[in-house]
């Protein structure tokens, strides 16, 4: 796998291989078995937005794999003063073995891949959050054993998480149902992509219809990074789009609840539901580390290709 730019660039086989590697790395870490697959390699981590999980999981992941990670805030890079992404890509390719970038426009991530000569990993854009979705898929398989016959539901904003969950969920063979208010639906490209999957994909504005018979129920914040100014208007638009125990009563018995975090209790998820599903939600957060190590191995080490 050359880059990880968005989920639709992956095949089902690549996702399953990545999840198998992540599971093995998790098992081995817990049993004290080290793997220095990236010894001597350096990952640059460009952040134009805040992060807790992505930054720490990639930095610790690189260390555990025998390499090093450089935190590059866009405020300190010349990018912040207008140096073009094309030049940044070509320069950083001379020093680094890979770049993970968190930014606004997907085009910047795609441009880094076009102009650079090293693997590029999307650590979140306004359009996609593939690293998170790989950790989510890992968590779902860990709890449910396989993806066979599962229905995955996402409630809330048709944002980066929704876009990536739809593609990832469909690729591994789950049925995917989405409930978003009108005006806050996933990207047109994603809806077009999903329509190829026929009845396996449904999009509605009715939360109850979407959650009915679900095995996995997922949500995310109503206002993503960069949308802070829309918080009040979004709170009104998303009223009723909360995952809570009443809504979950129509899901299948033993349904999982996932949230990429950070969460806003009392908005997209009730405090009670978050706490009663904290085991899987914090396993999901932990799995960022194992899934990200698998992403690093598959993009930056020849041994995995
Ligand atoms: N879920 C996630 O990407 O978290 P951070 O914003 O803390 O990296
Ligand atoms: N949709 C959220 C995800 C945060 C991990 C955001 O983009 O801010």
Q: Ligand 1: which atom is nearest the Cα of residue 129? A: 3
Give the separation between CA 63 and CA 70, rounded to whole angstroms: 11
- Spacing, Cα 58 to ligand 1 middle (Å): 11
Cβ of 51 less than 6 Å from ligand 1: yes
- Kindly state whether residue 2 falls inside one of the protein's structural domains: no
Query: Which residue in 41, 222, 197 sits closest to 119, CA to CA?
Result: 41
Tell me which residue has tokens 């329509």.
Answer: 195
For residues 253 and 189, state if they share a domain. Answer: yes
Q: State pLDDT tens for residues 109-122.
A: 999 999 999 999 99
For residues 141 and 281, state if they share a domain. Answer: yes
Average pLDDT of the chain is 98
Domain containing 229 — which CATH number?
A: 3.40.50.1370
Q: Ligand 1: which atom is nearest the Cα of residue 57? A: 8
Cβ of 164 less than 6 Å from ligand 1: no
Q: State pLDDT tens for residues 138-188.
A: 999 999 999 999 999 999 999 999 999 999 999 999 999 999 999 999 999
For residues 196 and 272, state if they share a domain. Answer: yes
Strands 151-155 and 216-219, bridge-based pairing:
parallel
Give the separation between CA 211 and CA 228, rounded to whole angstroms: 28
For residues 69 and 43, state if they share a domain. Answer: yes
> How would you list the strands of the sheet with 201-204, edge to edge?
201-204, 175-179, 151-155, 216-219, 256-259
Sign for the CA dihedral angle at 202, 203, 204, 206 comes to: positive
Q: Kindly write down the DSSP assignment for every residue of 224-268, as one continuous string.
A: -TT-GGGHHHHHHHTTT--B-HHHHTTSPTT-EEEE-S---BTTT
For residues 20 and 112, state if they share a domain. Answer: yes
Range of the domain at 15: 7-129+288-304
Q: State pLDDT tens for residues 279-304.
A: 999 999 999 999 999 999 999 999 99
* Residue nearest ligand 2's atom 6 by CA: 224
- Spacing, Cα 101 to ligand 1 middle (Å): 13
* Three-state SS at 217: strand
Q: How many helices (H) and strands (E) does the chain have?
A: 12, 9
- Mean pLDDT over 90-103 rounds to 98
Residues catalogued as catalytic: 102, 129, 132, 220, 260, 288
For residues 146 and 14, state if they share a domain. Answer: no
Q: State pLDDT tens for residues 39-54.
A: 999 999 999 999 999 9
Tell me which residue has tokens 């698998």.
Answer: 294
Sign for the CA dihedral angle at 47, 297, 281, 210 comes to: positive
* Residue nearest ligand 1's atom 7 by CA: 52
For residues 68 and 178, state if they share a domain. Answer: no
For residues 97 and 179, state if they share a domain. Answer: no
**For a substitution probing ligand 1, which of 136, 225, 260 has the most ligand atoms within 8 Å of its CB?**
260
Cβ of 54 less than 6 Å from ligand 1: yes
Total domains in the fold of the chain: 2
- Kindly state whether residue 240 falls inside one of the protein's structural domains: yes
Q: Which backbone phi and psi does 202 adopt, to 5 degrees?
A: -130, 140
Q: Kindly write down the DSSP assignment for every residue of 21-78, as one continuous string.
A: HHHHHHHHHHTT----TTTT-EEEEEESS--SHHHHHHHHHHHHTT-EEEEEETTTSG
For residues 169 and 281, state if they share a domain. Answer: yes
Cβ of 260 less than 6 Å from ligand 2: yes
* Residue nearest ligand 1's atom 2 by CA: 53
- The answer for residues whose C-beta is within 8 angstroms of residue 142's C-beta and 6 or more apart is 23, 283, 287
Q: Ligand 2: which atom is nearest the Cα of residue 54? A: 5
Whether the CB-CB separation of 180 and 206 falls below 8 Å is answered with no
């Amino acid at each position: 796998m050359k880059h990880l730019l968005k989920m639709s660039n992956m095949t089902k086989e690549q996702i399953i291989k990545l999840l198998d590697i992540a599971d093995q790395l998790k098992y081995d870490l817990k049993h004290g078995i080290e793997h220095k697959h990236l010894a001597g390699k350096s990952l640059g981590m460009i952040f134009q937005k805040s992060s807790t999980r992505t930054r720490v999981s990639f930095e610790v992941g690189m260390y555990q794999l025998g390499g090093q990670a450089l935190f590059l805030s866009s405020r300190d890079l010349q990018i912040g003063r207008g140096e073009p992404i094309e030049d940044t890509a070509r320069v950083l390719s001379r020093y680094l073995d890979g770049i993970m970038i968190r930014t606004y426009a997907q085009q910047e991530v795609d441009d880094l891949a076009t102009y650079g000569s090293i693997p590029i990993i999307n650590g979140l854009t306004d359009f996609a959050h593939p690293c998170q979705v790989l950790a989510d898929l890992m968590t779902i398989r860990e709890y449910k054993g396989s993806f066979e016959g599962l229905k995955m539901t996402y409630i809330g904003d048709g944002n980066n998480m929704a876009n990536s969950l739809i593609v990832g969920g469909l690729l591994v063979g789950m049925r995917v149902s989405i409930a978003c208010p009108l005006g806050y639906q996933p990207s047109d490209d994603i809806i077009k992509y999903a329509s190829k999957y026929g009845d396996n994909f449904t999009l509605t504005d009715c939360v109850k219809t979407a959650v009915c018979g679900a095995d996995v129920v997922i949500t995310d914040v109503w206002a993503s990074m960069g949308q802070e100014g829309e918080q009040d208007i979004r709170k009104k638009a998303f009223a009723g789009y909360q995952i809570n125990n009443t809504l979950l009563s129509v899901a299948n018995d033993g349904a999982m609840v996932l949230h990429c975090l950070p969460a806003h209790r009392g908005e997209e998820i009730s405090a009670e539901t978050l706490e009663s599903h904290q085991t899987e939600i914090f396993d999901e957060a932990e799995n960022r580390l194992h899934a990200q190590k698998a992403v690093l191995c598959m993009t930056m080490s020849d041994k995995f290709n």
